[in-house]
Amino acid sequence: MPLSQRTLEQGWTLTCARPRGAPALPDTIPATMPGTVHTDLLAARLIADPYLDLNEITVDWVGRCDWRYELEFEWQDDGADHVELVCPGLDTFAQIVLNGAIVGETANMNREYRFDVRGLLRAGANTLTILFESAWTRGEALAAQYEPRPNNYPGPANLMRKMACNFGWDWGPTLVTAGIWKPIRLESWSRARIASVRPEVTLEGADGRVRAHVDVEGGAGLRLRASVAGIVKELPVGAVLDLVVPSPALWWPHGLGSQPLYELVVDLLDEAGAVTDSWRRKIGFRSLRLDTAQDDKGTAFTFVINDTEVYICGANWIPDDCFLPRVTPERYATRIAQAKAANINMLRVWGGGIYETEAFYEACDAAGMLVWQDFLFACAAYPEEGDLPDEIEAEARDNIVRLMPYPSLVLWNGNNENIWGWFDWGWQDVLEGRSWGLGYYLDLLPRLVAELDPTRPYWAGSPYSGSMDIHPNDPAHGCSHVWDVWNEVGYEHYADSVPRFCSEFGWQAPPTWATLSQSVHDQPMTPTSPGVWHHQKATSGNDKLLRGLDGHLPAPGNMDDWHYATQLNQARAIRFGVEHWRSHRGTNMGAIVWQLNDCWPVTSWAAVDGYGRRKPLWYALRAAYHPHLLTIQPRGERLHVFAVNERTLFWRGPVTVKRVRFDGTVLAEWTHWRLCADRLDIAALAIPDDVAKPHNPRDEMLVATMHDSVAQYYFNEDVDLDLPEARADIVVARDGGDWLVTVTARSLLKDLCLFVDRIHPDASVDEMLVTLLPGESRVFRVSCAVELDAGMLGASPVFRCANQLVR
C-alpha cells in the first residue's frame, strides 16, 4: 500500500505537570500544534505578553515548569505493516506515551524522531501524551554530569541541543520554551518507504548533473524512478540515480541572473510499477566553490558561483521570533523580501538559533538569496563526552540531508566564535585540558559534510583563519569578526583594517518609535526608564550608544533626540564600514552585518526591528550595498572617488566632483569624462587637490555624481560643522492609496528622515537619510492610513535631520 500521512493537529490540551513557581492554573488549557507553552498560555490569557514592559521577568516561571501535552484521537486500522509517529520538532526533553505505554524519549529540538507505534494503536479512541521536562531542570543535571565549560551567556545551552538564544542573548530575552514546534504526524506504510534522498546537484560543462542517493527502508526487489527537467531514470533500489540535464538554465544570486528551479521527483515503485512512496523538491543548477587560496595578502575567502567571484553584501539572521511557530511562511517571505530590497545577497543563519524550516530556504531559493548555514554552536565550550556527540551527529546528519537540495545554501560553517573564544577569552585556563568542541569543528562536522554533501564547502568557524596555527580573527586570513568597533572604539576605526571577509560587525540602535512605544509604556519614557532599560540586553549597551556619539554627534538632551541620534549613528557607522571595505574590493570580498532582524522589540544591531519595521539602518544598507556604489575614500594623503560595480555589464560615464559650500555655492568643480568600472570590478580616480582640499572645512562638502549615483564627503564630523538651521518647503499630494511628499530644501538638510510611524504606527516611507542642498527637492512616497498635511510632516519629531541635533 502507498505511504499515507496524517497530521495530528486538532484537539491538544496543555497541563502544568510540575508547577515550579507557577500561579494557580486551570487543569487543562487548550493547546495549538505546532506551538509552545508560552503561546498557549498567552492565547488562554494566563500570562502577560513577555515582549511588553517588564513582563519577561514575570513569566520566568513558565520555563521552569514541566508541561504535559495530550491528545485524544481516533484511529482505524488500515492494514499497513508499519505505523510510525514522526516528531520533527519536539522542544526539547520529552517523553512520549501512547495509550499508557512509553514510546520513547527525545533530547534534541533540532532533529526528527520516528517511533514505531503499530503495536500500541487501538481501533477507536487513542491517547497520546507528551511530557516535557524543563530545560532548566535537565540543565541542572547536565551541569552536575559535565565539569564546567565556559559559556558567554547564563544557562546550560552548551550542554544540550536546544536553541541557545532561548536562554537569553545580548539582544534577546530569556524565554525558555517547551512544546511541539513542528507538526507531529502518523505515517502508515507497508513493505518499504523512502527514508531520505540526497541529491548532489552539480554542473559538468554546460550540462547539469543530479546524483540522487536514495535510502529506502525495506524494499527488497523494488525499483526507484527519478525525473527532472524531462529526464527520467529508473533503477533498482540501492543504485544511485544519475541524471544528466542538457544545458539547464543556471540559478544565480539575485542581481547576477535569474533563479530557475526544476522539480526533482523520486518515486518508489512496486513490481507492478505503482508508486508506493514519493519525494519531491525544487532544485537549481549552479556551480559553487569557496576560494581560500594563499596570496600575497594572506588567505582569500571568496564565494565563486558559476565561475563568478561574488562580492557578498550580507546580513546575519537570527530566529525571527522567540516562539518559533509564529514565524509563518508568509513572514519568512516578507523578511527575505526586505533583505533583498536592501540589496542583501546573503543571509548567514547564525549558530545560536535553529536550522530554519523549509519555508525559509524555499523563499531564499526563489529570491536568489544565498544562505550561509552555521551548525548550532555559539559563544561557548561544548563537551565532547557523554550523550552529546551522538546527538550532535544525528542532528547534523538530519539537517545536512534535509537542506542539501536547496541551491541557495552555499556554505556549512562549524560554529560561531568558539575557536576565537578558546584563543582569546580565557577558556584555556578554565578548561584545564577538557574538551570544548574542537573535535566537532575539525573532525566530525567536516567528515559528515564530505560524506553527505560533498558539493558544498565547509568552514570550521566564524571567525576562522583556516588553520589553528594562525589566530582565528586575523583579518588577513579567512573570515573575521570586527567587534572592537562598537564595544571599545568608535566607528571611524572600521577604516583601520581591510578584512578578507567580515562575517560579523555591527552597531546598535533602538527600534522604531512605533515599536518602542507599543512595547514599552513607561511614563515618562527615557533611555533609562525601566521598560526601555529592560529592552536593552547588551552589557553597558546604553553607555556604548552614547560613547559612540563622541566625536560625531552631540550628546542628546531629550528622548526624541536620543532616539534619532542613536539611530542615525547606527546607520552612519555601518555605511562607513561597508563603503570602506567595498572600496577595497578584491582584497575584501564580503561583509555580513550583524544583523538583519530581531526576535522581539529591543534595542539591538538589527536593521528590521522586532515588529518588522525598517530602521534607518535598513535604508543605509540599501545604499551601501547598492550594486553601483560611488564613494569618496582617502588613500594616503589624497581623496579618491571609487566606482564599485557588482553588475554583469560594465559601468562607465562621466564623473563630476564638486566642492560646495553649505549654502549651495559651487567653489570648485572637476569632471572626468570617462570612468569605466568593468563588470564585477572597481575603478578609482584621485580627486585634484584644488577640488579635494577645503578652504573652510566647517562649511564645505564634496559631492560626486556618476549617472544616478551620488557620493558625499564631509571634511569634519557633525560636531565640527557649521550646519545651518533646517528650513524646507513641503507639499503633500495624494497618489492612489499613498501620499507623495515633496521636500524642497531652503537650507542644507543633512540626513533628512521623515519618521511617519510617529503619525501612525503602520505608516512607512520609501526613503530616509537624504541630504539636500538649498534648492534641491526630493519626493518621498508615504504609505499612511490617515490624512497627512505639511504641518504634520514638517515638525519634529516627524521631520528630523542632523542640523537639528547639532544646533
Give the start-end residues of each E strand in 10-65.
Answer: 13-18, 29-30
The DSSP result for 529-597, as a single string, is: SHHHHHTB-STTHHHHHHHTTTTTSPPPSSHHHHHHHHHHHHHHHHHHHHHHHHTTBTTB-EEEES-S-
Identify whether the C-beta of residue 275 lies closer than 8 Å to the C-beta of residue 226.
no
Q: Is the Cβ–Cβ distance between 456 and 181 less than 8 Å?
A: no
Report d(CA 38, CA 63) in Å as an integer: 9
Largest Cα span, the chain: 91
Look-up of cell digits 507557577: 22
C-alpha cell at 489: 572604539
Residue located via cell numbers 575603478: 683
SS3 644: strand
What are the grid coordinates assigned to 662, written together? 553649505
Count of CB atoms situated within 10 Å of the CB of 332 = 20
Report d(CA 36, CA 50) in Å as an integer: 14
Q: Which residues contact 805 (CB under 8 A, 6 or more apart)?
A: 553, 554, 556, 561, 564, 565, 568, 718
Instruction: Give 232-235's long-range contacts (Cβ < 8 A, gap of 24+).
Output: 234/269
Cβ-based neighbours of 19, under 8 Å, separated by 6 or more? 25, 65
Cα–Cα–Cα angle for 247, 250, 256, rounded to 5 degrees: 145
646 has catalytic annotation: no
Which of 362, 417, 504, 646 is flagged as catalytic? 417
Q: Which residues are catalytic?
A: 417
